[in-house]
Amino acid sequence: MSFGRKSGAPSSSSPPPPPSINPTAPQAAPALSPSVTAHEKNEIPLDHLEAPQVEDNHTPAPEVDSMTALRLQRARNRIWSDLRDGIDLKALARMEGKAARDEVQTAVEEIARFRNLDLTPAELAQIAKECGDDMLGYGPLENLLSEDGIADIMINGPDTVYVERKGKIQKTDIKFRDNQHLVTICQRIVGAIGRRVDEASPICDARLPDGSRVNVIIPPLSVDGACMTIRKFTKEKLTLEKLVGFGSMTPSCAKLIMAIGRARVNVLVSGGTGSGKTTMLNCLTRYIENGERVITCEDACELQLQQPHVVRLETRPANLEGVGEVTMRDLVRNCLRMRPERIIVGEVRGPEAFDLLQAMNTGHDGSMGTVHANNPREAISRMENMIAMGNLNIPTTAVREQIASAINVIIQVQRLRDGSRKVTHVSEITGMEGEVVTMQDLFVLDIVGEDEHGKLITKQRSTGLRPKFFDKARAFGVEKYVLDAMEEAYG
Ligand SMILES: Nc1ncnc2c1ncn2[C@@H]1O[C@H](COP(=O)(O)OP(=O)(O)OP(=O)(O)O)[C@@H](O)[C@H]1O
Ligand SMILES: [Mg+2]
C-alpha cells in the first residue's frame, strides 16, 4: 500500500451509495429555452412581451445509452465510496499535486480491480480524474477553470452553472452533488489564501493561485444554495493592439489612448459590470514609463503592471471579531505618503474618490482609476455621490470644481447587447460653466445597425477636436498620435 492511502483493502461493507462525483445522468441536459430562437432572430412577439432570456445553448451531453450510463454511475458510486473510506486525506494533502493525483489514480485502479468492475481503460481514467478533481482540486469546476475562452463562471447553487464565452452567457450542464459539495469546494478555494467562508462570515472575496478573482456568498444570505462568481484570469494578456483586433476600437482611437497613458493624463475608465474596465486600465498602464514610481490600490490584485518600480497594495476585510479592516480609502491615503508619482485605484467605489481627486490635483499626474457608470457624464455624478458618501461636508460646487480640475479624460467601455465589448466614448473634461462640468467627446461610437446574425454594426469616429492635453502630449513626444487621431475625422 502506498503513502496516501489508509492501510487495508478497500472496505467491502456497503455504506449508502454516495451521489456521483460528476454525474452524466440522462436528465442532466435541460431542454433548450423556447425563447432562444425568437431572441436570436431578435423578434419580440408583440402579444407576448417578455424580457429576452439568457441563452441556454450549452452543448447537451453526448447521448450515452442508458445501460452504459447506469453501469458507469454504479461504478462511480462504488469507487467513490471505497475511495472515501480507504484514502488517508491528511497524507494526501501533504503530497505534491502530481504525486497526489497519481496516488488517487492508483487507488481507483486498485478498487476497480478488487471490485471486478466492468470499465474500459478510458472510463477508468475519466473516473480517476473526477475523483482527483474532487479530492484535490475544484471538483466539477476543474474543466471550466482550465478551458480557455471562458471569461466568467457563475455558480448559482449546486445545480446551476453559467459561463461567459465570447461575450455570451451560456448555461452549462455541470452540477455539484449537493449544496455541501459546492460549499466544500468554495471553502477549499478561499481557504487556500487564508480566508474563510462559513455561516459566521458568509461572504468572501478571494483570488485563485492563477490570479482569477473569486466571490463567494453562501446560505442563509444566498437563498438557493451557495453562489460563487469567478472572473477568470486571462492567460492571453489583452493589449490595445489585440482590442483593436477584436474590433473594440479603431487603430486611431488606440493611438489616442496610448498617448493618454504616456503623457501622464489623469484618467477614469468608466463602464458597467464586466464591461472591460480593468482590462482597459491594464492596457493604459503599459504606456507608463519605466522610471516612474507607481502605486496600485486594489481590492483583489488584478492589474499586471510590467514596470520595474511598482508597489501593489490590497485592501483587507475585517477579521472574525470585526476588526482589522483596511479600506480602499486607508490605502489611497497611505499611498500619498509613499512618494508616488502615479496612483492607480483598481475600482473607485466609495469615499476614496475624494483622495484620488486630491492626488490628481496635487501633482500625481497620470493617476488612474475605474468607476461603475453607464456614460461619461454619469461617471462624474458617480464620483460626486461617492464623495458625498464620505460625509466630508464639501459643497457640491467645490466637489465639481475638484473633479473638473483633477480628471482629464474619461474612457467609457461597454458590453453591447451582442456580447461585444467596445470603447463607446473617449471624452475630455474641459472645465466648468457655472455649476456644470463641461466635456467634449474625442471619440464616439455610433451603432449603425445589426447584421443577420444579431451582431451590431458599429462605427467609431473621431470628432476631430483638439484635446486640451495636446501640449502635454507634445511635452511627452506623443503629439503625433493625437494628431493622427484628430485627422481621422477629416480624412
Ligand atoms: N475589448 C474586449 N474584447 C473582448 N474581451 C474583453 C475586452 N475587454 C475585456 N474583455 C474580457 O472581458 C472580461 C471582463 O473584463 P474586465 O475584468 O476588464 O471587466 P471589468 O469591467 O473590470 O469587470 P468588473 O466590473 O467585474 O470589475 C475579461 O475576461 C476580459 O478578458
Ligand atoms: Mg474590474
Q: From 190, 213, 233, give the residue that closes a domain.
A: 233
| Torsion over CA: 110, 116, 122, 123 (sign) | negative
SS3 letters across 441-469: EEEEEEEEEECCCCCEEEEEEECCCCCCC
Rounded Cα distance between 462 and 41, Å, is 32
- Pair 404, 472 in one domain: yes
Q: From 233, 250, 278, give the residue that closes a domain.
A: 233
Q: Is residue 51 part of a domain?
A: no
Q: Is residue 473 part of a domain?
A: yes
Band (pLDDT 50/70/90 cuts) for residue 454 is: confident
Q: What is the pLDDT of residues 351-408, one digit of tens each?
A: 999 999 999 999 899 999 999 999 999 999 999 999 998 888 899 999 999 999 999 9
Q: Which residue's entry shows cell 473634461?
A: 429
CA distances from 183 to 221, 232, 345, 385 (A): 13, 19, 32, 36
Q: Is residue 46 part of a domain?
A: no
- Pair 147, 129 in one domain: no
Q: What is the pLDDT of residues 250-294, one digit of tens each?
A: 999 999 999 999 999 999 999 999 999 999 999 999 999 999 999
- Pair 332, 209 in one domain: no
Q: Is residue 49 part of a domain?
A: no
Which stretch of 139-143, 212-216, 406-410 has the lowest confidence by average pLDDT? 139-143
Rounded Cα distance between 293 and 287, Å, is 13
Q: Ligand 1 pocket test: which of 235, 273, 278 has the largest number of ligand atoms within 8 Å of its C-beta?
A: 278
- Pair 216, 256 in one domain: no
- Pair 291, 429 in one domain: yes
The reply to whether ligand 1 has any atom less than 6 angstroms from the CB of 77 is no
The reply to whether ligand 1 has any atom less than 6 angstroms from the CB of 275 is yes
Dihedrals phi, psi of 316, to nearest 5 degrees: -135, 135
CA distances from 34 to 26, 40, 55, 57, 368 (A): 20, 11, 10, 11, 45
**Domain membership of residue 414 as a residue range:** 240-487
Q: What is the pLDDT of residues 461-471, one digit of tens each?
A: 999 999 999 99
Within 89-141, residue ranges assigned H as helices are 89-94, 97-114, 121-136
Q: Which residue's entry shows cell 441563452?
A: 55
- Pair 207, 261 in one domain: no
Q: Is residue 449 part of a domain?
A: yes
E strand or H helix at 423: strand 421-433
Parallel, antiparallel or unpaired: strands 213-217 and 227-231: antiparallel
Q: Is residue 459 part of a domain?
A: yes
- Pair 335, 276 in one domain: yes
- Pair 267, 404 in one domain: yes
Q: What is the pLDDT of residues 314-364, one digit of tens each?
A: 998 887 788 899 999 999 999 999 999 999 999 999 999 999 999 999 989
Query: Residue with the nearest Cα to atom 4 of ligand 1?
Result: 421
E strand or H helix at 82: helix 66-86
- Please report the pLDDT score of residue 473 as a whole number: 94
- Pair 109, 168 in one domain: no
The reply to whether ligand 1 has any atom less than 6 angstroms from the CB of 276 is yes
Asked whether residue 107 carries a pLDDT value surpassing 50, the answer given is yes
Q: Which long-range contacts (CB under 8 A, 24 or more apart) does 194-197 make?
A: 195/317
The letter for the amino acid at 443 is: F
- Pair 72, 16 in one domain: yes
Provide the domain count of the chain: 3
The letter for the amino acid at 248 is: S
Rounded Cα distance between 439 and 461, Å, is 17
Residue 274 CA, closest ligand 1 atom number: 23
- Pair 84, 10 in one domain: yes
- Pair 111, 257 in one domain: no
Q: Is residue 37 part of a domain?
A: no
Rounded Cα distance between 424 and 446, Å, is 8
Residue 151 CA, closest ligand 1 atom number: 29
Q: Is residue 475 part of a domain?
A: yes
Band (pLDDT 50/70/90 cuts) for residue 64 is: low
Q: Domain containing 199 — which CATH number?
A: 3.30.450.370
Q: Distance, CA 344 to ligand 2 centroid (Å)?
A: 13
Judge contact between 344 and 285, C-beta under 8 A: yes
**Does the predicted model carry a pTM greater than 0.75?**
yes
CA angle 311, 312, 316 (to 5 degrees): 140
Q: From 207, 233, 259, give the residue that closes a domain.
A: 233
